[in-house]
Structure 1
Amino acid sequence: MRTSPYGAIAFRPDARRLTVSAPNGELTLWDTADPARPQPAGRLRLGRGIVAAAWSPAATDMLATASADGSGALWRLRDDRPPEGVARWAALPDRPRHVGWVAGGAWVFSMTGSGRTSVWDVGSGACVGRAELTGGRPVVGAHYRGSEVVAVTDSGWARLWRPGRRPGEWVKLTDKPVSACTWSSTLLVVAGPDGQATCFDAEFRPAHRLRVARDRPRALACADDGRLVASFGDDQAVALDRDGSVRWVTSLRARSLQIAGDLVATSGGLLRPTLLTLADGKEPLAP
């Protein structure tokens, strides 16, 4: 989950739980098992407020968070029990902007907006490594590839780091600035202020290019099959197939987007999220 914007979200891969951030530092948990009627399922708060969250790729009930004071935490969020704090550590000396999982869920990373990164072992709580990953270059998005942390900068470069080693070589993705990026299990997608996007495979080789918006995308999400959803302008969102054909366009103010299964979770400033079906962009109907 990228941080900062009010309403940033993290959608659990099974599409049954969703977190939404608020300016007061609270993280609201939503039960989305019935997508037509999302229900509040608890609130989390830690340190000077939670600014980023990410669900584990290995354990559906585990959530990693990063707080404004630089601390990281793990939570166990079982569907039938109150939230449980599992671990906490002093991850960074300044405010994080990104949090995520590495090595299939064995490690958790926290990263600032300037690329300062710490990685922690989930089982032991030990620090696996620290690095200045981008040399101060602004980070647009952070994710992982296997046991490597990946940072994408606003200047169109990516850098990988395997904790315990020195950061790797820079990878040039695009000659243009990057204003939004997203990942799926198969693709990395970066988009520029002109609305053009490039999709890359796991080795950072360009797979295809397409236009995702008429102007600068505000948010971007990618499904595992390559379908994209982008928000742009004041209140527009568009879904595209992998070949760039438009599947649907809708009026929607979305600052954050994530896809899980056949659902798109969006948040545009209100605490209550909006869920859309990926196929047609409509709100799910109650059974």
Structure 2
Amino acid sequence: MLATLSLDGRIAVWQLRSGAQPEALLAVRSPTPGPASLAWLPGGGYLACAAADGVVSVWSLDNGVRHAQVLGRPSTCVALHAAHDDVLHAAYEDGSVRRTSRLLQPGRPTAQQFAPITAAAWSPTGQKLAVAHHGGFFEVHDDDLYVRWTGQVVTTAPLVLAWHHDKTLIVADRSSRTLTAFDTGGGELWKLQLTPEPAAMSVADDMLAVGCYNYAPIFVDPATGALLSSS
């Protein structure tokens, strides 16, 4: 299944089947139009959306019922992660990291504050959080949000972050058009020079997809940095 979000707040869930046209399973609308972050809750039965007004909404795919909770003051969400216990973690541009225990049930959200950030990414288990700040500075936090290591690249553009399992952080620098992978101690594993400018990254299993402006996605082996394909 694929979830898409339009700038006018329309959210659609599509069933994808090989050789067939996508089938629309759910069409709902976020109360707040504009950019937002989407995340599937484990099991695929619920879809979460963190909007810039500080509200997180969760829709049931079975009946389209929406549950909502205010996690904090308005700010753009740069990363949303659903852990296996259905706890939602949201990181916002104002530097706040907000968590809610079981969003589908009443509960009081918790929040912690960093300096403003430009990007964030949780590892697949949710036990590590990487955040990027202005000036190419980035840091990795553990599950308690303590800083474990920091790094910096010389850049004038916001960084893009992605995790391969819980062991490798991949940092994309748009200005130099490079990908750099780091281990959990901050050691450099590999570096790859790209021709197009990277705009987004996503990791599934053992494949890294790099979205680039006006180019087809580039596919990379996240363990070695080897280029797999460009189309």
Query: Which TM-score applies when normalising by structure 2?
Result: 0.83
The reply to whether residue 135 of structure 1 matches residue 68 of structure 2 is no
State the shift of 1:158 in Å: 0.9
Aligned residue number for residue 280 of structure 1: 224
State the shift of 1:107 in Å: 1.2
State the distance in 2 between where 1:265 and 1:285 align: 10
Aligned residue number for residue 102 of structure 1: 41
Q: Is the contact between residue 170 and residue 180 of structure 2 (CA under 8 Å) also seen in structure 1?
A: yes
CA change 1:164–1:95 in 2 (3 A) is: farther
Q: Is the contact between residue 79 and residue 122 of structure 2 (CA under 8 Å) also seen in structure 1?
A: no
Q: Is the contact between residue 88 and residue 99 of structure 2 (CA under 8 Å) also seen in structure 1?
A: yes
State the shift of 1:115 in Å: 2.5
CA change 1:277–1:107 in 2 (3 A) is: same
Aligned residue number for residue 55 of structure 2: 116
Aligned residue number for residue 237 of structure 1: 179
State the distance in 1 between where 2:218 and 2:19 align: 23
CA change 1:167–1:271 in 2 (3 A) is: farther
SS of the residue corresponding to residue 134 of structure 2 reads coil
State the shift of 1:224 in Å: 1.0
State the shift of 1:93 in Å: 4.1
CA change 1:123–1:204 in 2 (3 A) is: farther
Task: Structure 1: give runs of 5+ residues left out of the alignment.
Answer: 1-61
State the shift of 1:120 in Å: 0.6
SS of the residue corresponding to residue 159 of structure 1 reads strand
Deviations for 1:131-163, whole angstroms, at most 9, x for unmatched residues? Answer: 333311332222223323322122322112323
User: What amino acid sits opposite 2:63 in the alignment?
Assistant: S
State the shift of 1:108 in Å: 0.7
Task: Structure 2: give runs of 5+ residues left out of the alignment.
Answer: none
State the distance in 2 between where 1:233 and 1:71 align: 29
Q: Is the contact between residue 134 and residue 151 of structure 1 (CA under 8 Å) also seen in structure 2?
A: no
State the distance in 1 between where 2:199 and 2:32 align: 28
CA change 1:249–1:122 in 2 (3 A) is: same
Aligned residue number for residue 266 of structure 1: 210
SS of the residue corresponding to residue 166 of structure 2 reads coil
Counterpart of 1:206 (choices 139, 146, 155) is 146
218-227 vs 143-152, which deviates more?
143-152
SS of the residue corresponding to residue 62 of structure 2 reads coil
| % identical equivalent positions | 24
User: What amino acid sits opposite 2:141 in the alignment?
Assistant: F
The reply to whether residue 193 of structure 1 matches residue 134 of structure 2 is yes
CA change 1:271–1:285 in 2 (3 A) is: closer
State the distance in 2 between where 1:155 and 1:95 align: 17
State the shift of 1:227 in Å: 0.4
Q: Is the contact between residue 207 and residue 220 of structure 2 (CA under 8 Å) also seen in structure 1?
A: yes
Q: Is the contact between residue 132 and residue 159 of structure 2 (CA under 8 Å) also seen in structure 1?
A: no
State the distance in 1 between where 2:153 and 2:228 align: 24
Counterpart of 2:160 (choices 207, 214, 219) is 219
CA change 1:251–1:103 in 2 (3 A) is: closer
CA change 1:283–1:96 in 2 (3 A) is: same
Q: How do 1:1-287 residues align onto structure 2 when only pairs under 5 Å count?
A: 62-127=1-66, 129-145=67-83, 146-161=85-100, 162-165=103-106, 167-172=108-113, 174=114, 176-186=115-125, 187-201=128-142, 203-206=143-146, 208-211=148-151, 213-215=153-155, 217-234=158-175, 235-252=177-194, 253-284=197-228
